[in-house]
Each structure stands twice: as structure tokens, then as C-alpha cells.
Amino acid sequence: MAEVIKIASITDLHQRLGLVPPKHPLITVFSDQEIQLDKVKENTRFISEMYLILFKEGVSGSIGYGRNSYDFQHGTLIFVAPGQVMTSPTREMIKNNKGWSLLFHPDLIRKDQLGSEIDKYTFFSYEITEALHLSADEQEYITTIITQLKKEYSKYLDQHSQQLIISNLELFLNYCRRFYDRQFYTRSNINQDTVAQFEKLLKDYFNTPNLRQTGLPSVSYFGEKLNISSNYLSDLLKKETGKSTRSHINDILIDKIKTALLSSSASISEIAYSLGFDYPQSLSRLFKSKTGHSPKEYRNMN
């Protein structure tokens, strides 16, 4: 198996790419034009302990992510969370790219509210095929924020710097979330097809006779079946239906439980195991949280 290079710090990354020493130990922005191409190890797998955002502009090609390789287009933002494996691009692709990279270490935001809320930016767990494609106006917004962010950590290090750096970073992430919402909206027809496919998969899953063996479906199960990441699927469903993947799964479970309670004399345990629950208590907790009644109370009410 090929070696995976681990990049633990901003300083380490700068050294590997032949960049000048970083202005800040926990955040950096640099253009591909600043990279010393002779330092680049082409098609090398690497894993970073930092959040990575890549902006690709004026270049075509592909970038490795996990075990796959994906095309990217003009004006594309790619988000990578710490711990995800990527493959470095070729020197030719770096040479032709007019974009930039933003990296920040989790320690930068750990003591700030952003550190506890970073998971709400679910696009860090999207696949590269689910990258954000920016319009010209959106690119202008993003570029303005990145320019200010870089200026802040490069020139104005004082008692206000930490908060202003984080504020600019959060502003950048919030605009990215807005633009992703726009992307979901403009792809509504495609999204509706995905919703229909998901709903069919969900119904088919619960109509199989061997739920005792297969167990309850996971969110990732449906993502894999639809060839999209589980976070992207949940976000897509929220935009189109107002409910996450887990909520859709729970809704059909509640419906199945109600039907079983009212159409048979099976015990709560028998119903739980027939629907794929590992423990009857899990069914009871879910049912009460959604209906306000225990399964026994519901049965006796009807």
C-alpha cells in the first residue's frame, strides 16, 4: 500500500510546498502560483489534520479524494475536513490554476463558539462530486472575504486579531452555506428525482421480509445506494421536504409500528424485532418521543 503523508501543521505544509514561512501558525491562504513546483510530489496520497478549502479557477482536470478521482470545473470550491485522504494534483494542474487554498487548524477555533458549531457546516463532509460551483458574483463575494481574512492575519496581529480572524472565517463559511442553498435550489429537478429514488429505497427496505437479519437502515446506507454522501443526502432532503434522512426513516418506522400495534396482538418485543430493532426498549423510546404515548398506551387508546 502506498504511503500516506500526514500533514500536521501549517508550517509543515508550507515547507513541503516551498512556500514562505507562514504569517500565522494556525491559518493560511496561498495561491497555487506561490507553490514551488519542484517541491510537489505528484499523485501522492496525503491526510491533513486541518480543514482545507480549495478554490479552483481557470483550469480543468481532476483531483483524488479517497479512492476516487473527480473532475472539477471553473469557479469550484472543495471542502475537506481533517482526517480525509486526498491525492495531490499534478504540477501541470497547479501551474495552470488561478485559484487558492485556505487551511486552518482546529485549534484556531477550539475556544470560540465556531469550534462547537463547525459541524453545522456539513459541506466539509460532502464528496468532491458535491462541490460548490460559484457564479461570477459569488466568486467576487468570496474573494473579498478571503482577501480581508489574509490581510487580518498577515498585517494586524494584536489583541483583536483572534476574534477578527475567526469572524472573517465564519462570514466566509456562512456565505458558502448560502451559496450551497442556492445550488440546491437551482438543481431542484435533479434533487426531486433523488428524493423519489430515496423514498422508493426506503419503502422497499421496510417491505423486505428479513428485517430481523438486516436490522434498521442507517443514513449512510441510503447515501451509498444513491452514490452521494450521507450529509449531502440529508441536506438535500431538508431543502426539498423539510425533513432529514433520519426523520424520514423514523416517520416510516412510526407508521409501521402503529399498523403492527393495531392490526395484530403481537407483543412489543415481537414487533420490535420484526422491524429490525435490536432492543424493544429502543422501539418504545422512539415511539413515545414521536407520539407522546408508549406503544401499550397507543394500542389501548384505539
In tens, the pLDDT along 108-163 reads: 999 999 999 999 999 999 987 888 988 889 999 999 999 999 999 998 778 889 99
pLDDT interval class at 69 (50, 70, 90): very low
- Which of 233, 90, 104, 112 is CA-nearest to residue 162? 112
For residue 72, what pLDDT is reported?
A: 42
Question: Domain coordinates of the chain in residue numbers?
Answer: 4-186, 189-301
What is the edge-to-edge ordering of all strands in the sheet holding 85-87?
4-7, 45-48, 85-87, 61-65, 68-72
In tens, the pLDDT along 3-26 reads: 788 999 999 999 999 999 999 999
In tens, the pLDDT along 21-44 reads: 999 999 999 998 888 888 877 778
> What's the number of CA atoms in the CB half-sphere (13 Å) around residue 126?
23
**Mean pLDDT along residues 55-61:** 66
For residue 67, what pLDDT is reported?
A: 38
What is the fold, at CATH topology level, of the domain defined by 4-186? Jelly Rolls (2.60.120)
In tens, the pLDDT along 161-170 reads: 999 999 999 9
Note the pTM of the prediction, 2 decimals: 0.82
- Measure the CA dihedral 237/175/55/134, to 10°: 70
189-301 is classed in which CATH architecture? Orthogonal Bundle (1.10)
Equal fold, 4-186 vs 189-301:
no
Average pLDDT, the chain: 88
pLDDT interval class at 256 (50, 70, 90): very high
How far apart CA 269 and CA 279 sit, in angstroms, is: 8
- DSSP assignment string, 58-91: S--EEEEETTEEEEE-TTEEEEE-TT-EEEPPPH
Question: Grid coordinates representing 256?
Answer: 409501521
For residue 58, what pLDDT is reported?
A: 60
pLDDT interval class at 65 (50, 70, 90): very low
Question: Grid coordinates representing 215?
Answer: 436490522
How far apart CA 65 and CA 27 sit, in angstroms, is: 22
pLDDT interval class at 70 (50, 70, 90): very low
